[in-house]
């Protein structure tokens, strides 16, 4: 009986993860990502390092201010405007982290092999710092 409960629980969790990933169609964002918190506080030094990484890896598509107007931004599927306030609720820090880590091929490359995991959190803090202050 206990085994059956475990199987049902596992099936339920799996179904739930499908629902969650459908919410971020095309992105690999695990269930629970939206509650994941950055291990790095948004200090000026953390954000400055994030900016350096953003300049090196992201500006060509997302533009210097994250508006999605970089020179390599695809014409038919432009890089997202990271300052668009309609995306704030959809993209808490944990979700931004996984979107950078896993990308959205082919439009947006994955950075898991290019930026160290801890450094991705620097980029997350920089991306959040680009948002218009309420």
Question: In the complex, which residues of this chain contact ligand HEC (CB under 6 A)?
Answer: 26, 54, 57-58, 60-62, 72, 74, 77, 79-80, 82, 87, 90-91, 96, 99-100, 104, 107-109, 111, 123, 127
**With respect to ligand HEC, which residue has the nearer C-beta, 2 or 72?**
72
> CB of residue 22 vs ligand HEC: minimum separation in angstroms?
14
Could you tell me the smallest distance in angstroms from the CB atom of residue 5 to ligand HEC?
A: 37
Question: Taking the complex as a whole, how short is the minimal distance between the CB of residue 67 and ligand HEC, in angstroms?
Answer: 12
Using alpha carbons only, what angle is made at residue 85 by residues 79 and 90, rounded to the nearest 5 degrees?
80
| Token pair in block for residue 126 | 């920089």
Paired strand residues for 75: none
Q: Dihedral of CA 54/56/58/63: which sign?
A: positive
Residue 3 CB, shortest distance to ligand HEC, in Å, is 40
Say how far apart CA 105 and CA 112 lie, in whole Å: 13
Report the helix count and the strand count for the chain, using DSSP H and E: 5, 0
Nearer to ligand HEC, 17 or 78 (CB): 78
């Amino acid at each position: 009986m206990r085994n059956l409960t475990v199987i049902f629980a596992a099936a339920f969790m799996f179904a739930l993860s499908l629902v969650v990933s459908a919410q971020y169609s095309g992105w690999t964002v695990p269930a629970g990502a939206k509650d994941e918190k950055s291990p790095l506080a948004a200090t000026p030094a953390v954000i400055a390092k994030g900016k350096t990484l953003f300049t090196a890896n992201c500006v060509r598509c997302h533009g210097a201010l994250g508006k999605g107007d970089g020179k390599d931004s695809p014409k038919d599927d432009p890089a997202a405007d990271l300052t668009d306030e309609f995306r704030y609720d959809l993209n808490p820090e944990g979700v931004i982290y996984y979107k950078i880590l896993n990308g959205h091929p082919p439009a947006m490359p994955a950075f898991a092999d290019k930026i160290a995991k801890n450094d991705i959190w620097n980029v997350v803090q920089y991306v959040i710092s680009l948002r218009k202050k309420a």
